[in-house]
Amino acid sequence: MRNKTAVIDIGSNTIRLVIYDYEPKKGMREIENIKTVARLKSFLDDDNKLNEKGLTLLKDALLAFNEIIDYHGIQDVRAAATAAIRQAVNQQEIVSRMKDETGVQINILTEEEEAYFGYLAVIHSTPVLSAVTVDIGGGSTEVTYYEHKQLIHSHSFPFGAVSLKKDFMEGDQMTQNEHKKLIRFLKSEFNSLGWLKNKKVPIVAIGGSARNVAQIHQQLIKYPVAGVHQYWMEEKDLQETNDMLTAMSKEDLEKLDGLSSDRTDIIAPASQVFCELYKIVDAKGFMFSKKGLREGIVLKELMKRYTAPLSKDNVFMESLNELAFDYSINKEQADQMVSLTTELYSHLCALNVLEENEEDLKLIKRGAYLYYLGDYIDSDSSSQHTFYIIGNRSIDGILHRDRIKIAAVASFKSKSMLYQFLEPFQEWFSDDEREKMRIIGALVKFAYSLNGSKRNIISQLEIRKKGEGLLVTLFAEGRTIAEEYQAGKQKKHLEKALKTNIELDFKKMVIISNR
């Protein structure tokens, strides 16, 4: 069963249409994303009334979105308005006129709802168990605090990137005096919330301003993989980026890679918000999540129809299922890979050839399940395609560093190719970590060879020491001509990694009939 939902997000800075598709076996994915910059916040007059020009901009955007929604044949449309409309004294007139003139029923989100939807998206798409979330819009800033993925506190501040620019920047560039005033204001606002102080947890930021900060930093350091979802920054990274943004002229900002043209005038105050919040929270890192308000709205609706449309407790597995679906991974064969690899690992640990480690076992299972998924594109260059796909695809529930480790194991072909793939990531991993990936990769590749006929006929294995080497006995439910050839050919990688000889002994299982 497929469900398509269109979400119209009417913000203070932008109005955006996003279309989502949900299938129980595949999960939720974004299939269309269109935005227009409206700056509705700037069309609120001194009495906080949205003027006629603002109403016309909103109407034109909704009519344009209607055409796209009709093209996709979508019946489920969710239009949500945030701070600009919420703060407008003529909000009921806005809702009524838009319904009459465009047919779109707008739901004005409360401050609590806006914060909750952002939190809901974060816990279903990131690995962070406890965090402070922040979402800077054009006219408001929502923060939440959750522990073990349970919401504890939430709050909406009546300021956003557009309003901060208006209140603290007279020109195109923030002066030193304006900068000091902004910092004092933000410290005062954040200090007013006692539950924000000294939480010592990561900050998970959502929204366009956070995305731009992450993109800018990636460009500055020539980040070697694609995607900003779950991109991690330390305090020094955040502060250095902020110092640069607040010091740059409008002309320089317009040329800055990673910065959207519609945010050149508001990125400096937004970036300062992140820095001041980081200090108040005494945060342990800063991570961007591309899943936010809109995804939360869809998730809330899906939760009414399904018991658990997505798992907040096993986010990675949900994303793994999506990968398997997209690249036609044979689940039975993938499960056999995981079974064989973990059994090999267990025996080698029991013999003290390897040291048992929970993180290593997790990496083994993930790498084994996704091993050579690049076959879907081209079997002759499966290793290269596998590394590229996993390394550059957004995968919920793991940080980028862990994604590269999985890519290295799942694509393992040889030591030389592994080190070639890891060349752009020299600063990410120590020599010991690279050697660990080599051993695990060789183990997974050897397990792959034990299913050479793709019939899952190896049902049991044993490993014991024999002289200076190892004897691996493999029990099969059928003839093993393909397995013997492949395993004999591929064991060399494991022998070199373990620095020991491996002897193979294939035995046919005797099937006893009850007849």
Quote the mean pLDDT of the chain: 95
* β-pair type (131-136, 141-147): antiparallel
Task: State the amino acid at position 300 in one-letter form.
Answer: K
Range 433-459 average pLDDT: 97
What does the CA dihedral 131, 136, 139, 142 come to, rounded to 10 degrees? -10
The answer on pLDDT for 326 being more than 60 is: yes
Percent of the chain with pLDDT over 70: 98
What does the CA dihedral 400, 405, 407, 410 come to, rounded to 10 degrees? -150
Give the 3-state secondary structure of residue 35: strand
Q: How does residue 2 score in pLDDT terms, banded at 50, 70 and 90?
A: low
The answer on pLDDT for 182 being more than 90 is: yes
The answer on pLDDT for 512 being more than 60 is: no
- The neighbouring-strand residues paired with 503 are 471
Distance CA 210, CA 214 (A): 6
- The neighbouring-strand residues paired with 8 are 17, 79
**CA separation, residue 460 to residues 338, 421, 474, 508 (Å):** 13, 33, 6, 11
Q: How far apart are the first and last CA of the chain?
A: 44
Look at residue 417 in the predicted model and tell me its pLDDT. 98
pLDDT tens, residue by residue, 385-402: 999 999 999 999 999 999
pLDDT tens, residue by residue, 134-174: 999 999 999 999 999 999 999 999 999 999 999 999 998 99
The answer on pLDDT for 267 being more than 90 is: yes
Helices marked H in 103-207: 111-123, 161-168, 176-191
Distance CA 330, CA 104 (A): 43
pLDDT tens, residue by residue, 215-242: 999 999 999 999 999 999 999 999 999 9
Distance CA 393, CA 390 (A): 5
The answer on pLDDT for 307 being more than 80 is: no
Helix, strand, coil percentages, rounded to 5, for the chain: 50, 20, 30
Look at residue 308 in the predicted model and tell me its pLDDT. 74
Q: What are phi and psi of 323, to 5 degrees?
A: -60, -45
